[in-house]
Amino acid sequence: MTSDAPVWPVVKRLFGEHAREYIPRYAVAFFFMAIVAGSTALTAWLMRDVINDVFVKQDRQALTWLPLVIAGLFMAKGFAAYIQEVLLSRIGNQIVAHMQKRLYDHMLRMDVKFFQERSSGELITRMSTNAQAAREMMNLLAVGLGRDLLTVISLFVVMALQDPLLSCVLIVVGPGAAYGMRQLSRRVKKVAGSEVNSMIQVVSTMRETTQGIRIIKSFQLEDKMREQMAACIEAVQRLNNKMVAVKARVNPLLEAAAGLAIAAAVAYAGWRTISHGQSPGEFFAFIAALLMAGEPLRRLSRLQLQLVTCAVQIKMLYDVLDTPAVEAEAQAKPQLVVRRGEVRFDKTSFAYTDNTPVLNELSFTAPAGKTTALVGLSGSGKTTVFNLLQDLWRPSSGAIYIDNQSIADVSLSSLRRQMALVSQDVFMFEGTVRENLVGALKDVSEDAVIAAARAAHADEFIRRLPQGYDTPVGELGGRLSGGQRQRLSIARAFLKDAPIILLDEPTSALDSETERIIQTALQSLTGGRTTIVIAHRLATVAQADVIHVLDQGRVVESGNQAELLRRDGRYARLHRLQFGDLAAQS
């Protein structure tokens, strides 16, 4: 192995995490590998008796037992190879499953920032290709250091017993081949990283295509996307070709080494036979062992290049696993206890990665059991308030309290359990209507599901679906209309029955009549609960108990709608802008 390739640290960690659990099964696999190696070596050894006893001495008794023994050896070898392969495949599949579950669990414990800094294609590749590399590395090492190495050692013993001096001479060929492999492995390491990154681009482009197909067709972006995907695929193709070319360089190197070894063996053994009367059987057994060692030696020689490729991919997977899981730490904190449901932002500031302030010492209180609305122009910080309140992001300064408990000091699960979000961007999981309504809730009765759907005015359209509540909604809810998805989102909030309701333009995808019905349903949902509403359309917040007008991350006005209109300030200007435009259009 090359000292600069990240192979041994990855191997050590991978084996340290998995080998102990599978030691009994690996031991069984190695036992059968030893049978494969021993059978191969014995077959080579018997070639001496085949030549000397059958062909030279023409011994009829040897002609009887030697074929039977050779046939038995091949049958034992085949059976042992089958058991070994099945065992290693099952172990490898379990390792992949374990790595994928571990990676997915770790990603779920990461904060939103982690996902925003990485493309979905990158994470999907980590889950699929990189996890598969863990199985490949374990199997390569098990087969390479087990079956192939044992086979080579066994065959070398056969050669050494036939001619010790020549066997030692052949070892001299090894260092030259090893040096060539070292140079190739460095090149493989560089190409492997680029190859994985190019595959990420293919996955990302495919994901964009499936999720944005309506926009692609609406704006006639087919040619643009076709060119983009073609460029990604061609990049992968170029790197695949480069990788094949680099790895193929090992073939002339190995063949040259093998040719030198066999030529030396033939010349020396021929001289011994002519000059010293060595039996042809010994020579034939030596050459048979040497030729049989050729293929496992080739696999062992390529092992370094294959391990470098695997190590690069596994290292990428470990880079994700080694990223500290911020949310995992928060789960160990005390539970949030909501008695009244008052929400308070106290001089809360926040900036995203570009360090541009989004919230600037924001302070406001959402009274318990009341409806508080946040209005303002785009970019004023309204959505950020929801992100911080759910602890999806952490404020750079200041604090957020629920019933005088800082949300930074309570567990995330207990915090998010107390909130139900109804967003304008409704996300549906690929599953049935019922599964999307119930979500992570446990022991939910059928009556409760139907009652929530009725409250959101969704029960009627659900029953018209082909399979009712058991109808698959498709990927991202693609089989439902926007209004239907929105009503299911509201039904989800009814079913969760949380004391704090977060509404992000919940009626934006509904027609006027349905909006009126849903507004009535939302009044039932929010009654007696602390409700915070983000609104762009001021008609949505007309009945709010208190309205906070945000500008550049600060509250610049507060009051109910009547009070704010009388002040003739920013809210009044927004009101005139919206309703004035409506009057002009009518």
Name the CA dihedral angle for 449, 453, 454, 458, rounded to a multiple of 10 degrees: -150
Residue type (1 letter), 361: E
SS3 readout for 175-212: HHHHHHHHHHHHHHHHHHHHHHHHHHHHHHHHHHHHHC
Q: Which of 547, 534, 542 is nearest to 504 (CA)?
A: 534
Contact 523, 541 (CB under 8 A): no
Question: Do 252 and 381 belong to one domain?
Answer: no
- Asked if the structure places residue 334 within a domain, the reply is no
Percent helix, strand and coil across the chain, each to the nearest 5: 70, 10, 20
Does a structural domain hold residue 250? Answer: yes
- What mean pLDDT comes out for the span 227-253? 76
Residues 257 and 370 placed together within one structural domain of the fold: no
Residue 364: pLDDT over 90: yes
pTM, full prediction = 0.77
**Is a pLDDT exceeding 50 seen at residue 585?**
no
Same domain for 363 and 440, yes or no, is no
Non-local (6+) Cβ contacts of 331 within 8 A are 411, 412, 413
The pLDDT score that the predictor gives to residue 342 is 94
Please state the rounded mean pLDDT for residues 20-29. Answer: 87
Rounded to whole angstroms, how far apart are CA atoms 586 and 579? Answer: 10
Which burial class, exposed, middle or buried, applies to 127 when counting CB atoms under 10 A from its CB (0-12, 13-18, 19+)?
A: middle
* Per-residue pLDDT band at 247 (split at 50, 70, 90): low
Question: Which parts of 394-537 are beta strand (E)?
Answer: 397-402, 405-406, 419-423, 500-504, 530-535
Q: Are residues 16 and 141 in the same domain?
A: yes
Calculate the average pLDDT of the chain: 82
Residue 372's pLDDT is: 93
Q: How far is CA 209 from CA 199, 213, 218, 281, 428, in A?
A: 15, 5, 13, 67, 18
Q: Enumerate the β-bridge partners of residue 530.
A: 500
> Per the domain annotation, does 52 fall within a domain?
yes
Res 174 pLDDT > 70 = no
Asked which of 497, 520, 536 is the last residue of a domain, the reply is 497
User: What is the residue range of 78's domain?
Assistant: 7-198+241-328
Confidence of residue 237 (pLDDT cuts 50, 70, 90): confident
Same domain, 407 and 533: yes
Q: What is the pLDDT of residue 173?
A: 59
Average pLDDT value for residue range 251-258: 67
For residues 475 and 576, membership in a common domain is answered with no
Residue 215 has pLDDT above 80, yes or no: no
Q: Are residues 412 and 434 in the same domain?
A: no
What pLDDT is attached to residue 583?
39
* Residue 226 belongs to some domain of the structure: no
Asked if residue 204 belongs to a domain, the reply is no
Mind listing the pLDDT tens digit for each residue in 74-87? 899 899 999 988 99
Identify the pLDDT of residue 581: 46
Rounded distance, CA 484 to CA 403, Å?
35
Total number of residues shown for the chain: 586
**Contact by Cβ (8 Å): 456, 521:** yes
What pLDDT is attached to residue 54? 67
Cα-flanking dihedrals φ and ψ of residue 232, to 5°?
-65, -45
pLDDT digit string (tens) for 384-442? 899 999 988 889 899 999 999 999 999 888 998 999 988 878 888 888 999 999 887 88
Assess contact for 382 and 100: CB atoms under 8 A: no
Backbone angles phi, psi at 298, to 5 degrees: -65, -45
Q: Is residue 140 included in any domain, yes or no?
A: yes
For 466-504, what is each residue's pLDDT tens digit?
A: 999 999 998 888 888 877 888 888 889 888 888 999 988
Q: How confident is the model at residue 541 (pLDDT cuts 50, 70, 90)?
A: confident
Residue 459 reports pLDDT greater than 70 = yes
Answer yes or no: is 229 within a domain: no
Closest alpha carbon to 533 in 407, 426, 389 = 389
Q: What confidence tier does 63 reach under pLDDT thresholds 50, 70, 90?
A: confident
* Torsion sign across C-alpha atoms 575, 581, 582, 583: positive
Residues 6+ apart with CB under 8 A from 269: 163, 166, 278, 283, 286, 287
Structural contact between residues 396 and 362, judged by C-beta atoms closer than 8 angstroms: no
Q: Is the domain of 292 the same as that of 368?
A: no
Which range is most confident: 57-61, 360-364, 436-440, 522-526? 360-364
Q: Confirm if 194 and 188 have CB atoms less than 8 A apart.
A: no
pLDDT score at 218: 66
Is residue 208 situated within a structural domain?
Answer: no
Of the segments 58-62, 296-300, 367-371, which one has the largest average pLDDT value? 367-371
CATH of residue 467's domain is 3.40.50.300
For residue 365, what are its two tokens?
A: 């209180």
Name, in order, each residue with C-beta under 8 angstroms of 90's C-beta and a sequence gap of 6 or more: 25
324 phi and psi angles, rounded to 5 deg: -55, 130
Pull the structure tokens for residue 413.
């699960």
Do the strands 530-535 and 405-406 form a parallel or antiparallel pair, or are they unpaired?
unpaired
Task: Give me the phi and psi of 342, to 5 degrees please.
Answer: -75, 135
pLDDT at 175: 55
Q: Which of 42-46, 134-138, 516-520 has the lowest mean pLDDT?
A: 516-520
- The model's pLDDT over 149-158, given as tens digits with 9 standing for 90+, comes to 888 888 888 8
The residue-averaged pLDDT of 316-342 equals 83
CATH of the domain at 97: 1.20.1560.10
**Which residues lie below 8 Å from residue 102, measured CB to CB, with a gap of 6+?**
321
Q: How confident is the model at residue 188 (pLDDT cuts 50, 70, 90)?
A: low
**Confidence (pLDDT) at 270:** 72
d(CA 399, CA 349): 9
The Cα–Cα gap between 417 and 407 comes to: 12
Question: Could you give the CA distance from residue 269 to residue 246 in angstroms, rounded to a whole number?
Answer: 36
Residues 68 and 172 in one domain: yes
Judgement on whether residues 277 and 373 belong to the same structural domain of the protein = no
**Three-class secondary structure assignment of 308-360:** HHHHHHHHHHHHHHCCCCHHHHHCCCCCCCCCCCCEEEEEEEEECCCCCEEEE
Q: Is 259 exposed, middle or buried (0-12, 13-18, 19+ CB in 10 A)?
A: exposed
Mean pLDDT of 174-187: 58
Going by pLDDT thresholds of 50, 70 and 90, the confidence category of residue 519 is confident
Q: Which of 26-30, 168-172, 320-324 has the lowest mean pLDDT?
A: 168-172
Nearest in space to 103 (alpha carbons), one of 136, 121, 130: 130
Count of domains for the chain: 3
Q: How confident is the model at residue 141 (pLDDT cuts 50, 70, 90)?
A: confident
Q: Which is higher by pLDDT, 202 or 104? A: 104
Residues 377, 434: one domain?
no
Whether residues 140 and 249 fall in one domain: yes
pLDDT of residue 276: 66
pLDDT of residue 5: 44
Q: Which of 298, 328, 358 is the last residue of a domain?
A: 328
State in Å, rounded, how far the first CA of the chain is from the last one: 78
**pLDDT for the residue 586:** 35
Q: What is the pLDDT of residues 283-315, one digit of tens each?
A: 777 778 878 887 888 788 778 778 888 888 888
Give CA–CA dist 134/409, Å, rounded. 38
Confidence of residue 465 (pLDDT cuts 50, 70, 90): very high
